[in-house]
Chains A and B, each alone.
Chain A
């Protein structure tokens, strides 16, 4: 039961989204362009945004940045642009998720649910928890399914970044920057090697990883929370 702002210049898509989201009891506000979207956001009362990138008055990626600066809302991009680089940019700019048109209604609702559920950003604290992972930062202690796991500092940092992402897809560059530093933003190799090592320690079947999930060409997210 949330209020969702749908930003799309196609009236037919807006009407479709209204019906699809009504299944979950969401109330939908429409904006046909970036200006209307900002007016509605500033009025308040919005819980999440579904954002099309192709808007008549302003590039959707720009609007994404603007929305971020108004309120820390979950933003799910719903776009006809099916390009990995576009997705990576949107996620790096703060989008919570990215759905490509034509979308499957059930999948869209599931992703919106996940985005809404995970919106409560955990305050910086000693303990970070998401799904089956519990990290005690001060003690450098990791528990997965209540089992203690011994991690190297890099593995711990990586798992912490993923856990704090709360199921959000974190791009390769974002993870690399957070764990290895800005200079290593492009060293995807590091990430692959570390993810594999981490999986061997935390996955129940590392050949079929369910906890650290890969988004082809984009990044990783922590699975295991109900989706």
Chain B
């Protein structure tokens, strides 16, 4: 761009040239043609320098035309009204031409800028897509920094305040950009006194937004508005890369987790399978031995206990691993209770009382897991009952409530939540029976099936465990 002073001087020189030409050749040209010639410096100045020099050339031309050519010559007075028209025309031409020229120039700059931006975006995209192994974002930042100067990415507020890199004004500008999604700092309208320019990496509608800080130009000049806009667009593209990187990292992490889960599950399954054979031989042999040798009965009881503890441990590990995939179906609660009670080995002296209607609505459960829950709850009850276990079922609006009530010591209020944790046992309870995992398994399995289990005090003083089983949807058949 030429300096304005030169443009005005050039306009003056051009007018001077026309004055010389017209005064010299006036007899040949005539006044009208001479006036036309004065349009030339106006067009020239307006096209080159825009409105200022154009208008200057127009006024200078009008004045020179009036002074040197219009009779009375060498005065600024104007006799004929049509001569005034020539002056007005000269000014009007200057105005229109300069406007057109300015607009044209602006378009040209815009087009060039757009071409440069799209070329850069294309280049950046190509570079980012090139190598999926490395971080696309890091490469993008390097590319932009190489072209525009030092660049820092501030991922979150903690990287803005406090900062050794940024002055307090810069910190404020960065925080603004982060919070509002505006371009701020040097070269912008928001806190232009800052040293850095801050470019949001995500559009306004996003909440968590990282910000790129770009240093001033090395020569200290201010970036143009166009360049800032351009950088803002590059920053948004970088932001997309960053999002993509984050997604990719998340996916890899998930894969890794899934893989380690698979390994653990395989291990658990193998362990549980491999333990079954020796346990079968151990328990089976001791069982036979105990028939003839009463002294072996104790060993057999211990082996059976070990077997139950092992299977509880494996089951608890399976629950903790999230390896359970309940196959939910519609289940008749009467079936579930009947089968689980059918296998219960009641202690001598303990009676069982059932209060379950045959028309309880069906519930939504995994049959095997529900069976396991009930077996554990019944077993728990028969270990703590003195003389009676009561099993009650009733339907409420959206569930079937199954209560297992014993007449044992009950669970103190303070321990009611803790009792479903692993290895929790009520105070003073028999420490040799059970693995300490039974109720934790009950809790884990019910959670997995969307059931709730709770304990409170039965009217007679014992414990009352209540399992809330969600209803299956009304059968259509």
Contact = CB atoms under 8 A, between A and B. Distances in A.
A189 B475 contact: yes
Contact of A16 (B284, B339, B357): B284
Contact of A216 (B272, B284, B287, B368): B368
A81 B279 CA distance: 14
B366 A188 contact: no
Interface stretch (B127-135, B324-332, B399-407): B324-332
A217 B281 contact: no
Interface in B265-297: 272-273, 276-281, 283-285, 287-288
B332 A214 contact: yes
Contacts of A82: 272, 276
Interface stretch (A60-68, A97-105, A134-142, A160-168): A97-105
Given A196-B332, A217-B366, A20 B284 contact: yes
Contacts of B388: none
A126 interface: no
A10 B287 CA distance: 19
Contacts of A101: 276-277, 279-280
Contacts of A147: none
Given A188-B330, A192-B330, A214-B338, A13 B277 contact: yes
B237 interface: no
B476 A105 contact: no
Given A16-B285, A215-B339, A216-B367, A195 B332 contact: yes
B358 A20 contact: no
Contacts of B359: 196
B339 A213 contact: yes
Indicate the size class of the contact surface on chain A.
Answer: 35 or more
Contacts of B281: 10, 12-13, 16
Given A20-B288, A199-B358, A213-B339, A81 B273 contact: yes
A200 interface: yes
A207 B394 CA distance: 13
B10 interface: no
Interface in B362-376: 362, 366-368, 370-371
A209 interface: yes
A59 to B, nearest CB: 15
A199 B475 CA distance: 17
Contacts of B358: 196, 199-200, 205-207
A207 B332 CA distance: 11
Given A102-B307, A192-B362, A216 B327 contact: no
A223 to B, nearest CB: 10
B37 interface: no
A130 B357 CA distance: 28
Contact of B476 (A81, A104, A189, A195): A189
B277 A80 contact: yes
A20 B286 CA distance: 11
A101 B330 CA distance: 28
B397 interface: no
B475 A216 contact: no
B336 interface: yes
B330 A189 contact: yes
B477 interface: yes
- B interface, over-half SS: helix
Nearest to B288: A19
A207 B335 contact: no
A217 B277 contact: no
A187 interface: yes
B356 interface: yes
B334 interface: yes
B334 A207 contact: yes
Given A199-B358, A207-B356, A80 B288 contact: no
A186 to B, nearest CB: 10
B116 interface: no
A37 B327 CA distance: 35
Interface string A188-224: 1110111110011000011111000111111000000
A84 interface: yes
Contacts of A105: 284, 287-288
A117 to B, nearest CB: 20
Nearest to A218: B367
A81 B274 CA distance: 10
A102 B339 contact: no
B4 to A, nearest CB: 86
A193 B477 CA distance: 7
Given A216-B371, A217-B327, A209 B362 contact: no
B354 interface: yes
A80 B78 CA distance: 120
Interface in B424-477: 472, 475-477
A214 B342 CA distance: 11
Given A192-B362, A193-B477, A213-B339, A208 B279 contact: no
Given A12-B277, A200-B358, A216-B370, A103 B336 contact: no
Contacts of A84: 327, 367-368
A217 B367 contact: yes
A187 B477 contact: yes
Contacts of A213: 338-339
Given A188-B329, A196-B358, 10 more contacts: A10-B277, A12-B277, A13-B277, A16-B284, A102-B284, A104-B283, A195-B332, A205-B358, A216-B370, A217-B371
